[in-house]
Amino acid sequence: MPWQTISKQIEAATGEPFKVVSTHPLSGGDINTAFLLKGDRKSYFIKLNKAELSLMFEAELAGLQELAKTQTIRVPMPITCGQASEQAYLVLEYIFFGSKNKTSERLLGQQLALMHRQQQPYFGWHRQNTIGSTLQSNIKSDEWLTFWREQRLTFQLQLLAKKGYTGKLQLDGERLCSELPLLFTQYQPQASLLHGDLWAGNAAVDQQGRPIIFDPACYYGDREADLAMTELFGGFSQDFYAAYQNVWPLEAGYAVRKTFYNLYHILNHLNLFGGGYLRQAESMMSLILSEIH
């Protein structure tokens, strides 16, 4: 394990001496192996993966920096990333978790709405990142629908075509791409800073009861995409949604666009995990197309 190099890099990044006291493998990650690196003064959260995935860690570090700058929701402070012993590594502040409660859920809702208030005059981001382990393109665009059509739906559909998912999925996908302006006749999305992969596994609470988010796939886009994802796999309470709406209410038509936005994640899951996600993607497409007409 590349602990020696990582320790040196921690010292370089923080400007403080760091000595490893112990290392502990952690469970829970989908994609990487994770460790608690205990030092004499501070502890760090380390993710390791194959060296060729170091761009993924660079993007995660940049995403955490972008979220941290907003001073809205707590994120693990990103320390450094790089390659050592043929592995890519990412070093973050280690946060000891506490338990969610009504107050922390409310705070998360309020703080997410404030985070979404951080906006740009363009959709996208200054760099690509990953969603799961799939590349996520974020080329800046003035046009949200073009951005979503090309860099989200078509991108995933093309990956799927290469994997042999042709036929109905592709035909419905093309139809959806050409008809998607019909979902946006009364609604003009703004370019908010998004977490981008906001499912319950990427949110927690620290020991002081403050909400934390991590493992982002940031870009500037319609805030509804973040909200939609919180509903895709569940785990966020009514307190969370009520608090969000209190700060910045959602607009009419969200319920339909929610399925549209979540389709992206289901297409990505189909790309990553295959199987049952095909039926889910097809039925989501049918639902959205039926809502349009």
Q: Contact positions toward ligand ADP, by CB under 6 A?
A: 26, 28-32, 34, 45, 76, 92-95, 201-202, 214-215
Work out how close the CB of 204 gets to ligand ADP at its nearest, in angstroms, rounded to a whole number.
6
User: Of 45 and 236, which has the nearer Cβ to ligand ADP?
Assistant: 45
Rounded Cα distance, 37 and 43, in Å: 6
Q: Is 292 exposed, middle or buried (0-12, 13-18, 19+ CB in 10 A)?
A: middle
Work out how close the CB of 187 gets to ligand ADP at its nearest, in angstroms, rounded to a whole number.
32
User: Of 34 and 55, which has the nearer Cβ to ligand ADP?
Assistant: 34
Residue nearest to ligand ADP (CB): 29
Work out how close the CB of 39 gets to ligand ADP at its nearest, in angstroms, rounded to a whole number.
14
Of the candidates 232, 213, 229, 224, the one whose C-alpha atom is nearest the C-alpha of residue 249 is 224
User: Of 113 and 115, which has the nearer Cβ to ligand ADP?
Assistant: 115
- Residue 197 tokens read as 């992969």
Work out how close the CB of 245 gets to ligand ADP at its nearest, in angstroms, rounded to a whole number.
27
User: Of 92 and 263, which has the nearer Cβ to ligand ADP?
Assistant: 92
Q: Which residues are catalytic?
A: 197
Q: Looking at this protein, which amino acid is placed at residue 16?
A: E
Rounded Cα distance, 292 and 128, in Å: 31
From its phi and psi, is residue 97 left (phi > 0), alpha (psi between -120 and 50) or beta? beta
